[in-house]
C-alpha cells in the first residue's frame, strides 16, 4: 500500500512532487485512516452559511457565484464571526485538514489553509478572485490529487480482495 502510494505520486503527480517534504519514510498513514476522496469531497457546505453571508456580507461577497457554483462546496468553509458578522472570513477545509499530514511545503502558506484564520477582501470581485485562485493553487491541487489517488487505491484494493464469482 505504502509502496504503491509512493510510486503513484511519482508517476501521476510529478509536477507537484516538489510541494511535498522530501522524506525517507513513506507516507505514515494507516490503511484504515486513509481519507478517501469519496468521503472528504462530500458536500459539507452548510446552506445556512448562504443566509448568513447574504444578511451580513452580500455587498462584499460574490453571492451569485456562491449560490450557483457547486464545485467549491467540497472545500469552502465559512468562519462566521458572531461578534462582528461583517468580518466573517472563509477558508478551505481540505487544506486545513491535510496541509500538514500531506507535508505540503508550498510557501507562502495561504491563510485559507489555517483553521480559524481564513481570508476576506473588501469587495465581491476580489473575494471571487480569492476563491478561484485558491481552487487553482498548486498546494490545493496537490491535496485534491493525493486524496483522489488514495480513493482510487482504496477502490482497487476492494476489487482485488473481493471474492471471485464465476
Ligand atoms: Zn484548499
| pLDDT, tens only, 19-60 | 666 554 444 444 445 455 556 666 678 889 999 999 999 999
| pLDDT, tens only, 92-147 | 999 999 988 888 887 888 899 999 899 999 999 999 999 999 999 999 999 988 88
**pTM of the model as a whole:** 0.70
124 falls within a domain: yes
Ligand 1 centroid–CA 161 distance in Å is 33
36 falls within a domain: no
Ligand 1 centroid–CA 26 distance in Å is 23
Ligand 1 centroid–CA 94 distance in Å is 5
DSSP letter at 163 equals: P
Checking if the pLDDT of 70 tops 90, the result is no
Cα 87 to Cα 54: distance, rounded to the nearest angstrom: 13
Ligand 1 centroid–CA 62 distance in Å is 18
Which CA distances in Å does 141 have to 16, 47, 164? 8, 25, 36
Structural domain boundaries, residue 70: 2-19+45-161
The total domain count for the chain is 1
How confident is the model at residue 162, as a pLDDT?
67
Ligand 1 centroid–CA 159 distance in Å is 30
Q: Which three cell numbers stand for residue 97?
A: 485538514
131 falls within a domain: yes
Which CA distances in Å does 56 have to 82, 85, 119, 149, 159? 11, 6, 16, 39, 49
113 falls within a domain: yes
Please list all protein residues whose beta carbon sits less than 5 angstroms from ligand 1, which is an ion.
92, 94-95, 140
37 falls within a domain: no
Amino acid at each position: 500500500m505504502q509502496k504503491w502510494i509512493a510510486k503513484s505520486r511519482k508517476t501521476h503527480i510529478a509536477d507537484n512532487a516538489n510541494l511535498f517534504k522530501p522524506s525517507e519514510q513513506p507516507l505514515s498513514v494507516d490503511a484504515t485512516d486513509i481519507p478517501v476522496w469519496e468521503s472528504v469531497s462530500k458536500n459539507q457546505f452548510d446552506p445556512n452559511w448562504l443566509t448568513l453571508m447574504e444578511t451580513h456580507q452580500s455587498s462584499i461577497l460574490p453571492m451569485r457565484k456562491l449560490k450557483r457554483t457547486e464545485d467549491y462546496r467540497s472545500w469552502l468553509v465559512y468562519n462566521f464571526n458572531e461578534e462582528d458578522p461583517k468580518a466573517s472570513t472563509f477558508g478551505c477545509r481540505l487544506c486545513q485538514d491535510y496541509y500538514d499530514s500531506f507535508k505540503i511545503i508550498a510557501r507562502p502558506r495561504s491563510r485559507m489553509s489555517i483553521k480559524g484564520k481564513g481570508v476576506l477582501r473588501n469587495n465581491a470581485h476580489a473575494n471571487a478572485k480569492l476563491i478561484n485562485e485558491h481552487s487553482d493553487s498548486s498546494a490545493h491541487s496537490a491535496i485534491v490529487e493525493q486524496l483522489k489517488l488514495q480513493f482510487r487505491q482504496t477502490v482497487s484494493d476492494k476489487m482485488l480482495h473481493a471474492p471471485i464469482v464465476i
